[in-house]
Amino acid sequence: MEGMKHKHYHDEEFDHHLIIETYVGRDKTDTKEELLISTLQKVFQCLCSVICKGIVKGETLIDLTIGATFCQLMVMSDFFKEITILDSSDRTLNEMEKWLNKEPGAVDWSHAAEISREMKGVSPRHLLHNAAHKLVEAEEEKVRRIVKRCLKWDPTNDNPLGSVILPQADCAISIWYFDIACKDHENYRNSFRKFSSLVKVGGHLILFAFFNATYYTIGDHRFSFLNYNEDFVKEALRDNGFLMFRCHQGVQQEQSCQEEEHSSGFTSEHLEAEEEKVRSIVKHCLKWDPTNDNPLGSVVLPQIDCAVSAWYFDVACKDQDSYRNSFKKFLSLVKVGGHLILFALFNGTYYTIGDHRFSLLNYNEDFVKEVLQDNGFTIVICEVYESKLSTDLIDYKQTGYIVARKESEI
C-alpha cells in the first residue's frame, strides 16, 4: 500500500461494519479488546474528571462521532436525559438507525455493553447466562431510550442541519470525527465552528482527537487522517468562544527522552515589561474591612467577572465564623455567571516570619465547599494535594485550589 492515495471517510470504500470488526469487533482479539477498553476508559476517565466534579452538567447532549459508534453513549446516557446523534454520512446514519431499531444486520455492540457494565462495577461475566444477557440488554436499551434523533450533518451548508432547528445543547461530544471527516485545516475550522455553535453559552464540549496522524486502514484501503496538533485545536476553541478546563494528551508509543539545556530567553527587559504590564492593568488598591457591613466603605464597586484569592482567608480569619462572614462578603463581589479562583492551605496551624509564629486557620476542603454552596456557587474544579514540605517554618497538611461558578445571588 506504499505510495497509494488515501481514501476519505465519505468515499464508498468506507465500510462501516468492517471498521468496527477491524478495530473493536466482537471477536475479542487482544488488540481489539485493548482498543475498545482504552476508548471506554478514556471516556470514563474524562467524565469522572469533569462531570463528577460538577464541571459538566445538564440534560441535553449532541454526539458527532466517527462511524456507527455507540460505546461512548453507554457512558454518556448515565448523565444526560436526551441525546441527539449527528453524522455527515448517510450510510453511517442508516447503520445507526438499524442498531437503534434492533434491525437484522445491525452492528453488534453487546460486547461494548459488557465492558461498560464491568467498568461501572457490575460484571456480566460473573452472572448466570440469562442474568448476564439481561444486564447487557438493559445497558443497550438505556441508550436506545435516551437517543431521541439521528440527524444528517452537512457542514458545507450554512445550516448543516438543513430545515431542522435544534435547541442549543448543554454539552456536545465528538470522538475523532473531525480527524477523519475534514480534508484540510480550513475545512476543520469551518465544520468545527458550526458544530460548536450548537452548544449553549455556559455549556461544554468534550473532544477526543488524534494529533499528528496520517492514516488508518480498513480492509485493503488506507483512509486519511487530518494532520494537526494540540495548538491548532486550542486556537479553534478560543476562536469560537470556548475556555479550556481540561486538556490531556497521551503518546501512542513510548519514546526515549533526552535532556537538553535551553536558555530561558528572558532578559532584564523582558522581566521589566512583565512588571509594567501588571502596573498598567491594576486600577485600584482598596481597603477591605469585612467587619463593616460594606467592607469597601464608601466605595461602590461593580460586580466582577472573576475573583481570585490566594491564602488570604487562611491567615486573616481567626475562626470559622469569621471566615464565613468575610468570605460571604467577598463572594458578593462576583456577578452571577462569574467565577472564583481560591488557593487554600488545609488543616494548617501556623507559619513563621522571623522570630514569630503566626496562626493559620484550621479547616478542611469540605468546609470551603459548604461555604461556597451556601453562597450560590457551584464547584467547577477542586484539586487538593498532600503537603510534602519538611520544615518548621510552616505547618499544614494539604494545599489546593478551587474554581467555582456563581449560579445565583443568595
> Given a cut of 70, is residue 237 above it in pLDDT?
yes
Give the burial class of 292: count Cβ atoms within 10 A of its Cβ; 0-12 exposed, 13-18 middle, 19 or more buried: exposed
The answer to whether residues 93 and 207 belong to one domain is: yes
The answer to whether residues 227 and 314 belong to one domain is: no
CA separation for the pair 64, 79 (Å, rounded): 17
Give the pairing type, strands 215-218 and 221-224. antiparallel
The answer to whether residues 44 and 114 belong to one domain is: yes
Question: What's the half-sphere exposure (Cβ side, CA atoms, 13 Å) at 15?
Answer: 14
pLDDT band at 372 (very low <50, low <70, confident <90, very high): very high
Identify the bridge partners of residue 343 per DSSP, sorted by sequence position: 310, 401
Q: What is the mean pLDDT of residues 78-89?
A: 91
Rounded to 5 degrees, φ, ψ at 174 are -140, 125
Q: Are residues 59 and 65 in contact, defined by beta-carbon separation less than 8 angstroms?
A: no
Q: Where is average pLDDT lowest: 49-63, 291-305, 314-328?
A: 49-63
pLDDT band at 378 (very low <50, low <70, confident <90, very high): very high
Residue 112 belongs to a domain with what CATH number? 3.40.50.150
Rounded to 5 degrees, φ, ψ at 401 are -140, 155
Q: Are residues 378 and 55 in contact, defined by beta-carbon separation less than 8 angstroms?
A: no
The answer to whether residues 324 and 387 belong to one domain is: yes
The pLDDT assigned to 37 comes to: 66
Grid coordinates standing for 90? 448517510
Taking all residues of the chain, what is their mean pLDDT, rounded to a whole number? 82
- Domain assignment of residue 278, yes or no: no
pLDDT tens for residues 181-190? 888 999 999 9
The answer to whether residues 222 and 318 belong to one domain is: no
DSSP state of 223: E
Q: Are residues 212 and 225 in contact, defined by beta-carbon separation less than 8 angstroms?
A: no
- pTM score, whole prediction: 0.58
pLDDT tens for residues 86-110? 998 888 899 899 999 999 988 888 7
Range of the domain at 394: 287-406
- Domain assignment of residue 97, yes or no: yes
Residue carrying C-alpha cell 453524522: 87
The answer to whether residues 307 and 402 belong to one domain is: yes
pLDDT higher for 341 or 28?
341
> Given a cut of 70, is residue 252 above it in pLDDT?
no
Q: Where is average pLDDT lowest: 36-40, 76-80, 108-112, 362-366?
A: 36-40
The answer to whether residues 104 and 196 belong to one domain is: yes
Question: What's the half-sphere exposure (Cβ side, CA atoms, 13 Å) at 351?
Answer: 15
CA separation for the pair 380, 50 (Å, rounded): 8
The answer to whether residues 89 and 233 belong to one domain is: yes
Reduce the DSSP state of residue 385 to 3 states and report it. Answer: strand
Domain count, the chain: 2
